[in-house]
Amino acid sequence: MYCPQTAEKSAPILDYDRWNSELPELTQRYAANQPLPHLLIRDFLQAGVANTLAEEFPSVQSRAWIQYKHPNERKLGLTKRSFFPRVLGQVADELNSPRFVSWLSRLTGIPGLVADPALEGGGLHQSTRGGFLNLHTDFSHHHYHKSWKRRINLILYLNPHWQAAWGGDIEFWDAGMQRCLVKYPPLLNHALMFNTDERFFHGFPEPVTCPQGESRKSLALYYYTAEKDGKSALRSTNYRPRPGDGIGKSALIWLDKQVVDLYSQAKTRFGFSDEFASRVLGFISGKK
């Protein structure tokens, strides 16, 4: 068991010796994977650390969660680092540390990656029974650092007892939105890293069917590069329907995407917080 009080003296969060020794092979796999550069790493953290993260993950009853509930997603989010349990906070800090970001730059072949300690759009995510995230491409730039271009996503899954029958696999689709090309289950201590790409869509669009008391849990971190001119416009999250979603659902996905785009632009211009934006979006969605 990982002990927070003796963290500095016990095994580290990440086995850098291992991941540095495997980096040449991991780099090749990352670049070669389709439909976009990505890599799933099993047993990413030291085993004791991962188990502790699952145990201390905040319950759905915590008032710290933001309610993201609109036609394109149904999940809880927590971006405030000060609200993280101790070990979850330590892991988030490590994955935003210069040492790890340097390793990630070498893995992905993208120099000059910048971490986001504010965890804008990331942090802890949790989906209870019925939760989902429609297929989408991600917002292109940081809302509050306009010259930061989003380049890499890292999602660490924290579900020790997840069953395949519950769904929740993250799916990568082709650019034409015709078929799913690859998918991965959200299993404990599996870390998925992938390029932020405006051509290929990802998400878990089918509502999860886990029983009451279970949820799909993850820690998400996003990495950026600082653009020299800083003039590129923000492209907000682009949700898309699947071929079999039907006219009604497809229209709802499109309409909700327009609302998300409107408030994404407003966040950038006026500095709205995630808490404010998500509540407004939830109110508008409830009125439709």
Least confident of 67-76, 228-237, 248-257, 274-283: 274-283
Tokens at 125, concatenated:
């995510």
Q: N- to C-terminal Cα distance for the chain?
A: 48
Helix axes 86-95, 47-56, angle to 10 degrees: 130
- Measured CA distances, 265 to 140, 143, 270, 277 (Å): 12, 8, 9, 11
Torsion of CA 22, 91, 59, 256, to 10 degrees: -70
CATH 3.40.630.30 assigned to domain 4-287? The reply is: no
pLDDT at res. 274: 63
Structure confidence at residue 259 as a pLDDT band (50, 70, 90): confident
Specify the residue for token string 């408030």: 263
- Residue 288's pLDDT band, with cuts at 50, 70 and 90, is very low
- As a whole-number percent, the residues of the chain with pLDDT over 70 amount to 87
Per-chain mean pLDDT for the chain = 89
Show the tokens assigned to 212: 């009451």
Show the tokens assigned to 95: 């994955």
Q: Do 120 and 143 form a contact (C-beta atoms < 8 A)? A: yes
pLDDT bucket at 6, cuts 50 / 70 / 90: very low
As a whole number of angstroms, the distance between CA 131 and CA 163 comes to 15
Asked if 108 and 197 touch (Cβ cutoff 8 Å), the reply is no
Torsions phi, psi for 107 (to 5 deg): -60, -45
Which pLDDT band, with edges at 50, 70 and 90, does 147 fall under? confident
Task: Please tell me the predicted confidence (pLDDT) of residue 47.
Answer: 87
pLDDT tops 50 at residue 287: no
Closest CA to 179 of 29, 30, 35: 35
Residue 5 has pLDDT above 60, yes or no: no
Please state, for a pLDDT cut of 90, what percent of the chain lies above it. Answer: 73
Q: What is the per-residue pLDDT for 108?
A: 98
Instruction: Return the structure tokens found at 21.
Output: 């020794």
pLDDT at 126 over 80: yes
Instruction: Dump pLDDT digits (tens) for 178-229.
Output: 999 999 999 999 999 999 988 899 999 999 999 999 999 999 999 999 988 7
d(Cα 224, Cα 71) in Å, to the nearest integer? 28
**Are 62 and 80 spatial neighbours (Cβ–Cβ below 8 Å)?**
no
Q: Phi, psi at residue 218, to the nearest 5°? A: -160, 160
pTM value > 0.85: yes
Which range among 67-71, 79-83, 190-194, 236-240 has the greatest average pLDDT? 190-194
Confidence of residue 139 (pLDDT cuts 50, 70, 90): confident
- Rounded Cα gap, residues 6 and 215, in angstroms: 29
Provide the β-strand partners of residue 78. 124
Q: Name the 3-class secondary structure at 73.
A: strand
pLDDT of 1 over the 50 cut: no
Q: What pLDDT is stored for residue 7 in this prediction?
A: 40
CA distance 174 to 160: 30
Q: Assess contact for 233 and 139: CB atoms under 8 A.
A: no
Q: Tell me if 125 sits within 8 A of 76, measured CB to CB.
A: yes
- Domain ranges across the chain: 4-287
3-state DSSP helix/strand/coil percent for the chain, to nearest 5? Answer: 35, 25, 45
For residues 88 and 124, the answer to whether their CB atoms sit within 8 Å is: yes
Choice between 286 and 221, residue whose per-residue pLDDT is larger: 221
Closest-CA residue to 224 (of 102, 113, 93, 79): 113
Give the pLDDT confidence score for residue 144 in this predicted structure.
Answer: 80
Predicted confidence band of residue 11 (pLDDT cuts 50, 70, 90): low
Residue 237 Cα distances to 89, 90, 130, angstroms = 27, 29, 21
Amino acid sitting at position 110: I
